[in-house]
Structure 1
């Protein structure tokens, strides 16, 4: 294992539930689980090494937050080996839970392999242009055509301020596109930043979705609260509330700062979205449509 690969801190243990009313069937659309590396080896070219984050701890977090559904997103440290999250989704189903997944796959994946992932609950393919071990644009073009008939989407982990070429191509893709972490743009750049404006336009035109997640990754603040993120989140909701979803990003891998409190992250929706009916759409009906939940 290379000494140049940093180890991540563990997530904080939640100690309180939210004061905000959390509707039934609310969904956390962005989280990961990590197993011991001896059981599920990490990619050699990874950007970070995570601590263990078990499925049991993930479910405990959801019980505290009042969350009934979730989406496990394949992290870059496992490359295209989706076996851990595949196993986790099957285990969740056996326990009676309704969860979904987003995978990372090779563009040469067979239809039979995609169908196996679909049966387990996967509904999208992640495109990672920030960390080593992720997919590249040229590889995703082929995947977009392959998954178009499955009701799947592409999920982009990019900084919208640095990816003009990609932002200009999104509208022409044959599948929905979901942007991680509010476009992963530093909040200091503000809502007038050209790449962010392109994201707003895609939302207005129903060409994209966005996750109201990762606020602690885009803020310029050293600790919670993150008031500089409010304008970013509010602009996304104003552009198209029906294309916004929420995610915790638990257990917050590859983050060097002060670990956030997941209850704070959920309750930020009260700051960003004043209307409880819109919050319910963001937490319940929007992810239900996108991830094909069993309503």
Structure 2
């Protein structure tokens, strides 16, 4: 583990908010264990081990029924830890993989059988090296045949240059972490409004109202992030999902209490109908239908 890398919270609090029956943590990860599933040589960071057993234990403790496990960059295109977790979870988990451009349809179908339903394209420059857009488009053509979607991860300052590419993608697109807005500018700033307009004008685009711990400047209790999440939940009630981001990779300022992250949910989705859409209806439609 990197010297400045924080391990996940060892003793999260029990949330006061009780998720609705069938709730899905739609963005989380598994790491290693490294002696079984080594980290990628080209990784930009080395996390602590966060195996599937710990994830499933947290799922049950927080009151969730299912997980969507997303491949993180520290494992590169080696999805063995992800596939192992999906097979262990059975119908309680789905996955989002990271794949190489030369992947074949037989391998993709095997991953589909294990529960993978999407691929992730990462454009965060501090985490990955640049990849030609043509490579991503060739992958998109393959996964479209399986009905998978594409998860895209970028930072707000890079959105404008990415918009033409995003409009080329032939599948449903899910944007990570609210599009990583600069919360110091406020939810009415043109930067966040550009993201809102993109979602309004492209009905194939979804968003994850996740990671207040990454977006905050204020720190816990993440009040500076609430207006962003609430606006997304209000404007796109049938295209927004939520997840913990456990075990919170590459966090260096503070390590969030996952119970407190669950208690953040009613602050952005105040009504029972919004909560059910965010945590049950939308992720079930996207990953289990």
- TM-score computed with the length of structure 2 as normaliser: 0.93
DSSP 3-state at the match of 1:168? helix
Q: Which residue of 2 aligns with 1:46?
A: 43
CA distance in 1, matches of 2:188, 2:101: 35
- 1:105 lines up with 2:99 in the alignment: yes
For structure 1, the residue ranges without an aligned partner over 5 or more in a row are none
Residues 56-113 of structure 1 show CA distances to partners (whole Å, capped at 9, x for unaligned) of 11111111111000011101011111011111111111xxx52000000012211111
Q: How does 1:13-92 map to 2 (within 5 A)?
A: 13-92=10-89
**Structure 1 stretch displaced more, 64-73 or 7-16:** 7-16
Deviation at 1:166, TM superposition (A): 1.2
The one of 115, 123, 135 aligned to 2:109: 115
For structure 2, the residue ranges without an aligned partner over 5 or more in a row are none
DSSP 3-state at the match of 2:96? strand
Q: Which residue of 2 aligns with 1:282?
A: 278
- 1:191 lines up with 2:205 in the alignment: no
Aligned-residue RMSD, C-alpha: 1.9
DSSP 3-state at the match of 2:57? helix
Q: Which residue of 2 aligns with 1:265?
A: 261
Deviation at 1:133, TM superposition (A): 6.1
Are the structure 2 counterparts of residues 136 and 258 from structure 1 closer, same or farther at C-alpha, using a change threshold of 3 Å?
A: farther
DSSP 3-state at the match of 2:145? helix
Deviation at 1:280, TM superposition (A): 0.7
Q: Which residue of 2 aligns with 1:129?
A: 123
Work out whether residues 155 and 179 of structure 2, in 8 Å CA contact, stay in contact via their aligned partners in 1.
yes
CA distance in 1, matches of 2:225, 2:283: 22
Aligned residue pairs total 286
CA distance in 1, matches of 2:187, 2:281: 26
Work out whether residues 141 and 170 of structure 2, in 8 Å CA contact, stay in contact via their aligned partners in 1.
yes
- TM-score computed with the length of structure 1 as normaliser: 0.91
